[in-house]
Amino acid sequence: MHDEIKKLLITEKTLSEDVINQIGNIDIDEFSEIVKELGEKETQHIKSSEISKELQTAYIGKKLYVYDEVSSTNTIAKFLSMQNDENGTVIISEKQTLGKGRTGKDWESPLGGIWLSIIIKPNVDQSKFPLITLATGVAVAKALEKIGVENPEIKWPNDIMIKGKKVCGILTESVAILDKIENVIIGVGIDANLESSKFPDELQKITTTLKDELGKECDEHLLIKTFLEEFELINELFNREDYEAILKEWRKRSYSIGKTVEVRKPFDTPFDAYIIGINEEGALIVEKIDGTLEKVISGECIIKN
């Protein structure tokens, strides 16, 4: 993480590479104020003032940092969370150079997409961690509905789909001590105003953009603002431990339930199964070919029909 923070400082020309290398042994935490100041500068495409204007939240996005380019907004968010930055702090970048999805997959993050991370400090244990990803998916789907997208669906555990194609990915990471979660970093990447025709052929078959689906460019500032408002609402359900309300909203928008899939669990042999539903922990309940039921807490489900 230290190396990535140094890259940010060099990219933004705050400090030269020579200077950074000379002071490389100094605790990088001392640069936290510089990192925050960089995020408060005016950027060309995404304006923090446009997002903050009339933002109807109590704490999500009240502290907002926007960058021209970072390796990963999750990395910046983790760094700032270690400096005890506020609950609800949001980090946005116009571009990411090393965006990541789940299982370490690369996530293309050029100009025209929405790349952001949120720092939250939930008072829950690790068993509830998967529900945070599901709650975020609901917030994204509701925000897309509000800007005119018809029937956005949520593919377990972390993708938002439109007409069977992926438009958004979510990467949730925790900073925990023993079984207690101290901070959660929620990364959201939305293919907003990108040109899908410029995607590689293999991606064009499975991904889409809001620009394609709406037939016009979407208002990125409005979408970010709407998402932050929806996220705070569902995060409050999480804080009140009203998990069933979250699951109810998720099930209404599920892309996964009722489909036959290939289940790929870490360190296990893949198997085919039929998705029956989702339980109170956020795990999938699947029926295997032999009729036995299995709970899938983590992994990937490849749709077969």
**Alpha-carbon gap, residue 202 to 87, rounded angstroms:** 39
**Spatial CB neighbours of 277, under 8 Å, sequence gap ≥ 6:** 251, 257, 284, 285
What's this model's pTM, rounded to 2 decimal places? 0.89
DSSP code of residue 207: B
Q: Which long-range contacts (CB under 8 A, 24 or more apart) does 201-208 make?
A: 203/108, 206/165, 206/166, 207/165, 207/166, 207/167, 208/162, 208/163, 208/165, 208/166, 208/167
- pLDDT tens for each residue of the chain, 305 residues long: 566 666 666 565 554 555 455 445 545 566 788 888 889 998 999 999 999 999 999 999 999 999 999 989 999 998 898 888 899 999 999 998 865 544 445 556 788 999 999 999 987 778 888 999 999 999 999 999 999 999 999 999 999 999 999 999 999 998 877 767 889 999 999 999 998 887 888 888 899 999 999 999 999 999 999 999 999 999 999 999 999 999 999 999 999 999 999 999 888 899 999 999 999 989 999 999 999 999 998 888 998 86
Q: Which residue has the tokens 């016009």?
A: 216
Nearest to 15 by CA among 29, 35, 1: 35
Nearest to 127 by CA among 260, 5, 243: 243
Six-digit token string for 300: 């990937």
Half-sphere exposure (Cβ direction) of 29: Cα atoms closer than 13 Å = 6
